[in-house]
Structure 1
Amino acid sequence: MLIRERMEETRFSSAEKLLVEDICNHSEELQYLTVQQIAQRNFVHPSTLIRVAKKLGYHGWLELKEDFLAEERYLTKHFQKIDANLPFLPTDGITTIAQKLTALEHSTLDDTLSLVQHDELNQSKQLLLTSQQIKVFGSNANRLISQDFLLKMNRIGKSASQATPGEEAYEAFNMPPDSCGILISYTGENHNLCQIATILKKSAIPFIAITSIGDNEISQLATCSLKMTTRERLYSKIGNFSINTSVTYLLNLLYCCVFSENYQQNLDHLIETGALIDKRPSTVAVMAETPIAKSIRLQDSFLPN
């Protein structure tokens, strides 16, 4: 839930309600105003700002202000020329649709990257590196999206699997201590996934949440969180374009972070196993593998000509 949404649902006094309305209506000015200035313009005592912050779950005004401004910056950045829900119109031709879909993909990737926090990403990486077993929990399309991530992780020797539909809670209960989970949920409030998050939390099994911005139950329970682009409505849209692109990017990012920890070893392993197993023919030169190419090590590519 976004801070603005929490403000709408929280019960405030008359004075507090007027203060919240002023904050929402003039958010662009907030960063330049002191507590005293905000209080004066709303004819309230400065302590009113602290009470509002605490009712929203914060320790103080400055903490609320920082999160509120960060949320506002995110919501007003990217996606200014494209609608994530209706990226093209019924009057658009196929070339225009192609262009707009490309613009949507670019906007989604830029948007998702802006949400990546170094410490959360690094903690996620360390969890995956130290876990002997990785299990992904998701619903509907997220299960399909994660299959490529699982394939890549298994090919570099990291044991990763997807929870069996209908058996997720049981599998969460039976995860060994040296494992970790990945929970993918756009809303972060999916009942089944919240149940799984609670099970993992009680069992002291760490897990990564891939979810929307704002406050939600799964992100509260997670060991660490990666935020996906949060622009789509739940169902009044053409398709889950930005959500799917964002989740795919974040899973690819996790895989790349794990791969990079033992870059040369993993690369050699993929080349060696590929040479033994992948016998697909190709008539396109750029796809062709040669004995020389198969034996090239990373450092060789940096040798001077």
Structure 2
Amino acid sequence: MNLESVVASRHEKWNDTERAIMSYVLANQDRVVESSVQAVAHSTFTSPSSVMRLTKKLGFSGFSELKYFLRHSRSAPTSEVADLVAAQRRDVEGTLAQLERADLGPVLHRMQRARTVYCYGTDFSSRTAAQELSKALLINGTSTVMVPGVKELKASLPAMDPEDLLVLISGGDGMPAQAELAELFLLRSLQTLAITRLGDRERSYNPEWMLHYCASPLGRVGGSESYYSWIGLNVVLDYLVRRYVMHLRERRGLARR
């Protein structure tokens, strides 16, 4: 089991401080193994007591046990790390656990009330996912625009207003690096939903809502590059669409009364 699986298996609600620490630890596991509690607190602009509380909330007796777990989970031979089919199950179950703890009410309400929902994916796979989300929303009577790339996203920004919703779907490369995009998002007061891999944190974009999916590293046969499963992302989008259809049915039922 790796740390991503541990986080996904905890049926907890994480506050902003815990998410900041957890995101740092997930993204910097090799560094954390060599760090102190004080160093992690300094890197995350939090306190040592906050780091310790999160460590115990994850089920470890202390920071030393967390470091021991990280060292051995990351250094174990690939054949011992995971059965890939079992990892698939963990990704699905972990993603559903994240979703069931999320308050989707405000997101669904904004999606229904939006003048237009703009869908943007950061790479080929997430763009395909964004296209499927856009199609599902259109079928259910919601106006959507599929944004195919960063240039188009920049070009679309002047047409967006606070009545719209921008859905950013983060793939393996994360969100676009252009600092001016984050500034424009803030200046235009865009309502934003970010869908990211558990452990990614796009602080500069400051989205109103975030949904996370679990993605196990699969690797490559005969290669060393990391390749992540997309099943968790598919689960997020399918879950979101199903909840949106239920929301629309409920609202239409209330309107007929």
TM-score, length-scaled by structure 1: 0.55
**Is the 1:173–1:200 contact (alpha carbons within 8 Å) kept by the matching residues of 2?**
no
1:7-26 equivalences in 2 (<5 Å): 20=36
Could you say which residue in structure 1 is the equivalent of 2:175? 190
Q: RMSD across aligned C-alpha pairs, in angstroms?
A: 3.7
Indicate yes or no: 2:187 matched with 1:202: yes
How much has 1:261 moved relative to structure 2? 1.6
Deviation at 1:82, TM superposition (A): 3.9
Measured against aligned partners, the alpha-carbon deviations of 1:56-83 in whole angstroms (never above 9, x if no partner) come to: 324433432344455678x98xxx9745
Say whether the 8 Å CA contact 2:118–2:145 is kept in structure 1.
yes
Give the match for residue 66 of structure 2.
none
Three-state SS of the structure 1 residue aligned to 2:104 is helix
Residue type at the aligned position of 1:145: A
Aligned ranges 1:124-135 → 2 under 5 Å: 124-135=107-118
For residue 167 of structure 1, what is the amino acid of its counterpart? E
Q: Which residue of 2 is the match for residue 3 of structure 1?
A: 25
Classify 1:154/1:18 alpha carbon distance in 2 versus 1 (closer, same or farther; 3 Å).
Answer: closer
Name the counterpart of 1:107.
90
Residue 146 (structure 2) aligned to one of 162, 179, 193:
162
CA gap of 1:234–1:228, structure 2 versus 1, over 3 A, is farther
Which residue matches 1:174?
159
Contact 2:218 2:227 in 1 (8 A): no
2:119 equivalent among 136, 159, 167: 136
1:232 matched to 2:232: no
Q: 1:234 to 1:197 in 2, by over 3 A?
A: farther
- The CA distance in 2 between the partners of 1:5 and 1:145, in whole Å, is 24
Distance 1:66 1:202 in 2: 36
1:136–1:161 Cα contact (<8 Å) kept: yes
How many residues end up aligned between the 2 structures?
209
Equivalent AA in structure 2 for residue 153 of structure 1:
L
| Superposed displacement of residue 266, structure 1 | 7.2
Q: Give the AA of the match of 2:144.
A: A
8 Å contact 1:197–1:218 — kept in the other structure? no
The gaps in structure 1 that reach 5 residues or longer are 11-16, 21-48, 88-99, 268-305
* Structure 1 position 7, deviation (Å): 7.3
Q: Report what 1:291 is aligned to.
A: none
SS, match of residue 227 in structure 1: strand
In the alignment, is the contact (CA less than 8 A) between 2:88 and 2:216 conserved in 1? no
- What SS does structure 1 have at the residue aligned with 2:169? strand
- Pairing 1:206-225 to 2, within 5 Å after superposition: 206-214=191-199, 216-218=201-203, 221-225=206-210
Per-residue CA deviations over 1:5-51 (Å, capped at 9, x if unaligned) read 547658xxxxxx9872xxxxxxxxxxxxxxxxxxxxxxxxxxxx5x5
- Identity percentage of aligned residues: 14
Matched, 1:149 2:133: yes
Q: Secondary structure of 1:109's match?
A: helix
Check conservation: 2:115, 2:163, Cα contact below 8 A: yes
Describe the shift of the 1:130–1:238 C-alpha distance in structure 2 as closer, same or farther (beyond 3 A).
Answer: same
Q: Which consecutive unaligned segments of at least 5 residues does structure 2 have? A: 1-22, 61-69, 74-79
CA contact (8 A) 1:58 1:64 kept: no
Secondary structure at the aligned position of 2:148 is classed as coil
- Deviation for aligned residue 1:4: 5.7
State yes or no: 1:55 paired with 2:53: no
Once residues 96 and 188 of structure 2 are traced to their aligned partners in structure 1, the CA distance between those partners, rounded to angstroms, is: 32
Q: What is the one-letter code of the residue matched to 2:235?
A: Y
User: 1:258 maps to which residue?
Assistant: 244
Residue 128 of structure 1 aligns to which amino acid in structure 2?
Answer: M
Taking CA–CA contacts closer than 8 Å with sequence separation of 6 or more, which of the two structures ends up with the larger relative contact order? 2
